[in-house]
Structure 1
Amino acid sequence: MRRCILQIGFGNFGPTHLAAWRVLGLADELYVVDPDEAARRRCMDLGIAPDRVSGTVSDFLDQADLVVILAPTDLHLEVCLPVLKTGKPLFIEKPMTANLNDAQALRDLIREQVVQVGFYFRAHPLAQRAKEEVDKGRLGDLRYISGRFHGHKRARSDSGVVANDAVHFIDQANWMMGELPLEVDAVTKDHFGRGHDDFALIRLFYPSGALAHVEVGCIQPGRWNDNIVPGATQTKEFMV
């Protein structure tokens, strides 16, 4: 039976997701919706048939078996609403929403369908190995997790480094710890007045007494191990 994968949005990450569908052998089952004509044209230029591309979600939603949201973050709640009403499995690119109120509203609308947010770092083999070490107690009790994402790179025009990069490390820290923080503090900087942060320092304080420190930026030179996971008995460092 032919499946229908509906991808809503074909912006910056549209081609990346299309490449992944091709690796999985599912590109022929992909339907794409984007209200932007240039995005639709780019999608068709990359090989998606015109009859599987539209500017209107309702054209394909009823036949969809799975829906992937790649729309701009501030539109996630609005775009997710009709999908959530269908009960279809839903994948949302990170971050889930642009603010806490939208996140809580979206959460309250979820019933029994599968809803996943795109925190890919969990799937990296080194992250999986580190999590296995933690879960089997080989590191002892976790005391501290550090994550850094630095280097000169082109700043994104639609979001800052917290929404684009830090969210991965925050999710990974929560996953490694097996708990959510009780308290968070942060400092962000917008050095060039773009309206988006280009540097951030974030600390997360956990019920167990453990601490996580996340440092992200797109203007700092240098290279570091991405994650350091010290326990009471050992320390693991790994690049992601």
Structure 2
Amino acid sequence: MLNIAVVGAGYWGPNIIRNFYENPACCLTAVCDQDTDALNRLKEMYGPQFRYETDYSALLEDSQIQAIAVVTNIPSHLPLAKAALEAGKHVFVEKPLAMTAEDCRTLGQLAEKNSKTLMVGHTFVYNPAVRTLKDIVNSGELGDIYYFHSKRVNLGRVQTKFNALWSLAVHDISIVLYLFDELPTEVRAWGNAFITPGVEDVVFLNLTFPSGKLAHMHVSWLDPEKKRQVTLVGSRKMVVYDDVSLDQKIAIYDKGVDKILTDSTYPEYKDFSEFQLLVRSGNVTLPHLNFVEPLKVECQHFIDCATGKIDKPLSGWPEGEAVVRVLEAGQISLEQAGHPVEIVWPTLAKKR
């Protein structure tokens, strides 16, 4: 059984705490936060089931604690995770892994040096619906993938420190990199800050991939409707993933545009004028999904990696670095009013 501690009991921390507490494959040993009010709220829920600490060093010095989950604000990820790895702990870090790709690499190399698991919380790659999307893409059912389009908008939760790119697009970037299994070469981002100066409330992000695939993302906390939707368009079929839907999250559309050769005498010499374009609209397939809370799957995956049951995490440090490198390029483009930014990928950041 893995003895684990969680640092961070703020907005997202209680969800991580709940999942590790309820998991029989681990023992939640301690929770740490400098905010005593946050700890008191946990005490009302859990009582003396685990220790409550305000001093992070108490977790690092406890030899019984084998793993630490870092669920704090983004700038603190690097020092907290680094200290845990140096103390010989396996480490889970909430997304994004760090503020810069170089910081991600620093943590990754330290984890490899110490033979410890370093995993980042890209929760959506543990979502059964996204896993199903991945299976659909890999099966070839959609044909050649043309483009990815996502919309993640709502009225709230308004952020005042990190813009919509870092707060929201991080999810969709992790999804598209997982689905496409390739890394973009160019990023463009544009948006505006309407509520808090310098913190963009709406961001549009475009990614270009070496294969010719495109991705477009729209993220905002300033929108009248709650939308969490991904569309994949292929040469044969199209699929829509609606995370907000309660009953049917994935729909596969047998729709597309077919190019028919009107004269097959010498097909190798025919130009576009001798093709007929036919719009096809067929059936809609609604695959059944066995829903399991993605966070539960994610936490179990970390436990399995830390205990040696799984060799490498699905969202390890290379995946974390890749997402942050896209975010960094997007931030540069955002500050340059959508100017395209090229990404040069170091070898270690590429998909394993």
Query: TM-score when scaled to structure 1?
Result: 0.90
Q: Which runs of 5+ in 1 are unaligned?
A: none
- Inter-partner Cα distance in structure 2 for 1:49 and 1:223: 38
3-state SS of the aligned residue for 2:17? helix
- Inter-partner Cα distance in structure 2 for 1:17 and 1:63: 20
Q: How far does residue 60 in structure 1 lie from its aligned partner after superposition?
A: 2.6
3-state SS of the aligned residue for 2:240? strand
Aligned partner of 2:84 in structure 1 is 83
Q: Is the CA contact (8 Å cut-off) linking 1:150 and 1:216 kept in structure 2?
A: yes
1:183 paired to 2:178? no
Q: How far does residue 230 in structure 1 lie from its aligned partner after superposition?
A: 1.1
1:221 paired to 2:220? no
Aligned partner of 2:100 in structure 1 is 99
1:132 paired to 2:147? no
- Summarize the Cα distance change of 1:73–1:224 in structure 2 as closer, same or farther, 3 Å threshold: closer
- Inter-partner Cα distance in structure 2 for 1:216 and 1:99: 21
Q: Is the CA contact (8 Å cut-off) linking 2:208 and 2:214 kept in structure 1?
A: yes
Deviations 1:114-162 (CA, angstroms, capped at 9, x unpaired) = 2111111112221111100111211112110111111212303443222
**Letter in structure 1 aligned against 2:202:** F
Deviations 1:191-223 (CA, angstroms, capped at 9, x unpaired) = 112542211100111111101111100112235
- Summarize the Cα distance change of 1:196–1:6 in structure 2 as closer, same or farther, 3 Å threshold: same
**Letter in structure 2 aligned against 1:70:** V
Query: TM-score when scaled to structure 2?
Result: 0.63
* Larger mean Cα displacement after TM superposition, 45-54 or 66-75: 45-54
Aligned partner of 2:11 in structure 1 is 12
**Letter in structure 1 aligned against 2:109:** D
Aligned partner of 1:56 in structure 2 is 55
- Inter-partner Cα distance in structure 1 for 2:33 and 2:158: 24
Deviations 1:149-203 (CA, angstroms, capped at 9, x unpaired) = 1121230344322222110100100111011111111113211125422111001
- Summarize the Cα distance change of 1:100–1:28 in structure 2 as closer, same or farther, 3 Å threshold: closer
- Summarize the Cα distance change of 1:69–1:136 in structure 2 as closer, same or farther, 3 Å threshold: same
Q: Which runs of 5+ in 2 are unaligned?
A: 244-352
Aligned partner of 1:161 in structure 2 is 164
- Summarize the Cα distance change of 1:89–1:48 in structure 2 as closer, same or farther, 3 Å threshold: farther
Q: Is the CA contact (8 Å cut-off) linking 2:85 and 2:110 kept in structure 1?
A: yes
Q: How far does residue 38 in structure 1 lie from its aligned partner after superposition?
A: 2.3
Q: Is the CA contact (8 Å cut-off) linking 2:172 and 2:217 kept in structure 1?
A: yes
- Inter-partner Cα distance in structure 2 for 1:52 and 1:217: 38
Identity %: 25
Task: Using CA pairs under 8 Å that are at least 6 residues apart, name the structure with larger relative contact order, 1 or 2.
Answer: 2
Bigger proportion of residues as strand: 2
Q: How far does residue 41 in structure 1 lie from its aligned partner after superposition?
A: 2.1
Aligned partner of 2:111 in structure 1 is 110
- Inter-partner Cα distance in structure 2 for 1:25 and 1:47: 16
**Letter in structure 2 aligned against 1:89:** H
3-state SS of the aligned residue for 2:155? coil
Q: CA RMSD in A?
A: 2.1
- Summarize the Cα distance change of 1:145–1:88 in structure 2 as closer, same or farther, 3 Å threshold: same
Deviations 1:67-126 (CA, angstroms, capped at 9, x unpaired) = 100121111101111212244321110111123343333233231322111111112221
